[in-house]
Chain A
Amino acid sequence: MITTTQSQAHTAIPESVETLLDWKLSNSDEAFDSEEFLADFAMHAQEANALFDQAVADFKRE
């Protein structure tokens, strides 16, 4: 059963939804298609490949 109080609470929902949808946690304007990105990526790739070798060695031991 919905009481008068609950019913009044329901009328406030659109405002809450508006607040939720208004979260702006996601803004970032870093460009991922730049030369800087690729220069960093080259270093990441070296490290990732070395780590992959260790992970694969672990696979082989099982």
Chain B
Amino acid sequence: MSETAKDTEADLRVRARCRETMLVRAFHLFTDPWKDEERGQCTLNQQLLRIVSEAYFKDLERKKDFHGIRYADAHKRAGYMMKWIMRFRPIQLVREDCCVRALLANEHFALTVALRFIRLSPSKLSADLYKNLIYSLRYRHIDANAWALSCFLLQKSHG
């Protein structure tokens, strides 16, 4: 491996750690409005979160390298983050009889982070649209670029 490649990989690791820290804090803010009982039904697995962060940066770096992009736009960041949160599902259930909020915590968290990435306030979306997005995250195999396009369209139509 060349020195430049090593530097790039080390840099990616540093950025991934910063993102991991941010996501941990975001998770606590995300679950803060939950009832104590709901919060006790799931936990954030930091090993999985680290994989999410590193996979996100490696994946996005590949895309940027191919297109000669210096910084990825907010829609791509949102799409790629949604993809990797859904792939590794870092929020894990700790009980058998969980509420819907806990059962769909990864989908809900991925969407909330993505909406912040594109600076779109959730209150601007209808409950019906929100439900459809959660459903698509849970049941559809949608790739990062398609999510990036979805985020772009969401921002254009609701931003």
- Residue ranges of A at the interface with B (Cβ–Cβ < 8 Å): 21-30, 32-33, 37-38, 40-52, 54-59
Contacts and interface: CB of A to CB of B under 8 A. Distances in A.
Contact of B71 (A29, A43, A46): A29
Interface of A is mostly: helix
B123 A26 contact: no
Given A41-B29, A44-B122, A52 B22 contact: no
9 residue pairs, one from A and one from B, having the closest CB atoms: A54-B127, A55-B131, A47-B122, A48-B112, A48-B122, A33-B18, A33-B22, A26-B73, A47-B123
Contacts, number: 102
A48 B69 contact: no
B153 to A, nearest CB: 15
Nearest to A54: B127
A45 B131 contact: no
* Range class of the B interface residue count: 35 or more
Contact of A48 (B18, B108, B128): B108
Nearest to A29: B71
Contacts of B18: 33
Nearest to B124: A47
22 contacts: A21-B66, A25-B73, A26-B69, A26-B72, A28-B71, A28-B77, A29-B70, A32-B117, A33-B18, A33-B19, A38-B25, A41-B112, A45-B112, A47-B123, A48-B108, A48-B112, A48-B122, A50-B123, A51-B123, A54-B130, A55-B128, A55-B134
Contacts of A58: 127-128, 131
